[in-house]
Structure 1
Amino acid sequence: MLNRRRFLSVAATAAVLGSVPGRPAFAASAASPAPTVWKGVAMGAVASMTLVHPDRAQAQAMIARCMAEVERLESIFSLYRADSALSRLNAAGRLDDPQTELVQLLSFGLSLAQASGGAFDPSVQPLLRLYFDHFSRPGASPQGPTAAAIAQARQRVGFADVEVGLGRIRLGRPGAAITLNGLAQGFITDRVADLLQANGFDNVLIDLGEGRALGHRPDGAPWRAGVADPAEPGRTLFELPLGSARGQYPALASSGGYGTRFGPNPALHHLLDPRTGRSANHHAAVSVAAPRATLADGLSTTLLVLSPEQRTPLLANYPTVRTWFVDAAGHVTGPDGAPAGGA
């Protein structure tokens, strides 16, 4: 899957686990169960899970189950597997008897597209493909695709023409294609959290591209995530408590143009405004805390694309979320433009 914002999610994990990136450092008491920590690759990028459970063998077996579920879901959502359900949908323009998860996630994406006036659009893939193809050619113009090429690609983009049902998904425009990279990491993160909780694991920290936490650390303190400055990776802008208790945030997602840049110009990146076909540069980064990682994932992408004037109506639909906006100088504000920080 497209590595959209791995920098901030990894930075968040490093801040949770300790001051040295990639090395866990827990402040657990002697009586606390030692956490079982898994680190590896999921969805093409570095990932981690930390399970607080007295039975290490059981925790390791549960991690294996979680990774099998990640693999199953990636076989549905991946754009980089020719046999995935999503790839088959894009190749044929329709998919009969789609998996329930694909129907659920695409339906949510279309509802977010409607709520945002098209700032978020799962059918943006033809534009992304245009940019990737352009910059993969030797001697490509550093200014990006021409206005005519962008206009032509935009004719294949339009969420209103995507039909989703339990029996069939159909793309209504010739050459249309779907990407769920703005949602799939959050959705898979939620599925793993649900699987863990259903099997009695109530104190866990998950980073599969988006952060999700249940319960607390071994010492009873909340998990904490640091949101890094996209312009200065070693600098933490603010920290947030993650977990299930009052005053904590169950899920955290961050989006920014730093995730995948096209060419030497940092203003040309993968977070495209489907309405214009151009990269969105209203903010350097956006972080969203929400009850579910799927929602945090989708909203962080959408709010990165929306201008400050456009975000208020969208956020009115989601009163349980909290948002932070980072500008190029590393200043953090809330949705009202006032300075904001962590907790």
Structure 2
Amino acid sequence: MTSVAPLVHSWTFEAIGTVWRIEAASPLDDGVREQITGAIARFDSEWSRFRADSLVSRLGGEGGAVPAPADAVAMLDAYDALDTATAGAVNPLVGEALARRGYDADYSLVDRGPVSAPRNWRELITWSPDALSLSEPALLDVGALGKGRLADLVLDLVPDGPAVVDAGGDIAVRGATQRVALEHPYDASRAIGVWSVTDAALCASAINRRAWGDGLHHVLDARTGQPVRRYAATWAAAPDAMTADAVATALFFDGGPRLAAEWGAEWVRMGTDGSVEWSPRCEAELFS
């Protein structure tokens, strides 16, 4: 990404399985960097289903109630809306379905067949500012919006002034403009367009990322446990990265555009047949 604001200080590091880059107008001192790495570590220890010691893994093995993580209400409220908009295709208890297809804690990439996520997840999960509980063991997965949520949290920790947080392609921008290439899902050396983002966030999802086996990838329909086939890539721009990330996930399903309109997000999506769709007020520059 190329900045048109005076973001002359850059910090690149690896965390939660991806490369992060933070650009700012002034250097990030050691104290700020420690706050950022601490926030990422906390989020990972709470929400990662790839860690045996995480809160999510504990609930997956035992169920029960725990003190609510700071992000529980915001994320699960958003999942409530995602589930409604997609008629159940996006579900926070899709973790076991992903694990059975091979995207498990050991990254086995061994397919054990499809299983649907519990459709009655709202009866199984209870959340409030004080407590998060599961009435029976079940595996939470917040991949539909979690990285976007974390990008927002990290941006909030960067001192005031222009800044950009790039969390492996989920980008949150403050006080600056970024021109971001929309990577072709079948050819990483090409782009289908460019999107200029100012004081907003842009998140993307594609079936070529975290793909394995015979057509398996990380975007599953929670109702069937099967990978989506109609769309290959999605992009969404919104005022914050959690919203953009959530909309990018919803766009793999029929209800995505309606949810984007309700949440004030703009979008682009590419079908597996090569066709491209976009929202009415989308400002992305799309190539023919």
Deviation at 1:186, TM superposition (A): 0.5
Other-structure match for 1:124: 94
In structure 2, distance between residues paired with 1:328 and 1:317: 26
Aligned residue-pair number: 282
Structure 1 position 340, deviation (Å): 8.4
Give deviations 1:134-156, integer Å, cap 9, x for gaps: 9948xx6xxx545xxx3xx3264
Residues 286-317 of structure 1 show CA distances to partners (whole Å, capped at 9, x for unaligned) of: 1000111001111111211x13xx44443342
State the one-letter code of the partner of 1:326: M
CA–CA distance in 2 between the matches of 1:175 and 1:156?
A: 11
- Say if 2:103 and 2:218, in contact at 8 Å, map to a contact too: no
Instruction: State which of 12, 25, 40 in structure 2 corresponds to 1:52.
Output: 25
- 5 Å matches for 1:14-33? 16-17=1-2
Matched, 1:295 2:243: yes
Q: Kindly indicate whether residue 142 of structure 2 is the aligned counterpart of residue 169 of structure 1.
A: no
What residue identity is the alignment partner of 1:178? L
2:183 is matched with: 228
Alignment equivalent of 1:315, drawn from 260, 265, 272: 260
Deviation of 1:329 (Å):
5.3
Structure-1 separation of matches of 2:84 and 2:174: 31
Q: Which runs of 5+ in 2 are unaligned?
A: none
> For residue 212 of structure 1, what is the amino acid of its counterpart?
A
Match of 1:38 in 2: 11
Aligned equivalent of 1:182, options 133, 138, 144:
144
What is residue 256 of structure 1 aligned with on the other side? 206
CA distance in 1, matches of 2:285, 2:85: 27
Question: How big is each residue's C-alpha offset from its partner over 1:222-258, in whole Å with a ceiling of 9 and x where there is no partner?
Answer: 22111110111011211111222xxxxx101111111
Q: TM (normalized to structure 2)?
A: 0.86
Query: Contact conserved, 2:47 with 2:54, CA < 8 A, in 1?
Result: yes
Larger strand proportion of the pair: 2
CA shift in 2, pair 1:175/1:76, >3 Å: closer
**TM-aligned CA deviation for residue 95 of structure 1:** 2.4
Please, which of 213, 216, 228 is the counterpart of residue 173 of structure 2? 213
| Equivalent in the alignment of 1:270 | 218
Higher-helix-fraction structure = 1
Structure with bigger gyration radius: 1
Aligned equivalents of 2:220 and 2:247: distance in 1? 14
| Percent of pairs with identical residues | 23
CA contact (8 A) 1:255 1:286 kept: yes
Change (3 A) 1:188 1:27: closer
How big is each residue's C-alpha offset from its partner over 1:269-290, in whole Å with a ceiling of 9 and x where there is no partner? 2211011221111111010001
SS of the equivalent of 1:105 reads helix
- Structure 2 CA distance, aligned partners of 1:276 and 1:335? 28
| Inter-CA distance 314–101: structure 2 relative to 1 (3 Å threshold) | closer
How far off is 1:175 after superposition? 4.5
1:325 equivalent in alignment to 2:269: yes
The answer on whether the counterparts of 1:123 and 1:158 sit within 8 Å (CA) in structure 2 is no
Distance 1:133 1:73 in 2: 20
- The answer as to whether partners of 2:79 and 2:92 remain within 8 angstroms in 1 is yes
Residues 46 and 289 of structure 1, relative CA distance in 2, 3 Å threshold: same
Unpaired runs of at least 5, structure 1: 1-15, 18-25, 217-221, 245-249
What TM-score do the two structures reach when normalised by structure 1? Answer: 0.73
Deviation sequence 1:55-82 (CA, Å, 0-9, x none):
x3x5564334222221222222111222
Letter in 1 for 2:139: A
Q: Residue 284 of structure 1: SS of its match in structure 2?
A: strand
1:160 aligns with 2:133: no
Is the contact made by 1:230 and 1:285 (CA closer than 8 Å) also made in structure 2?
Answer: yes
CA-atom RMSD in angstroms: 2.8
Q: Within 1, Cα distance between the matches of 2:98 and 2:219?
A: 9
Aligned with 1:100 (options 70, 78, 86): 70
Deviation of 1:335 after TM superposition, in Å, equals 4.3
Q: Distance in 2 between matches of 1:145 and 1:80?
A: 18
Matched, 1:192 2:154: yes
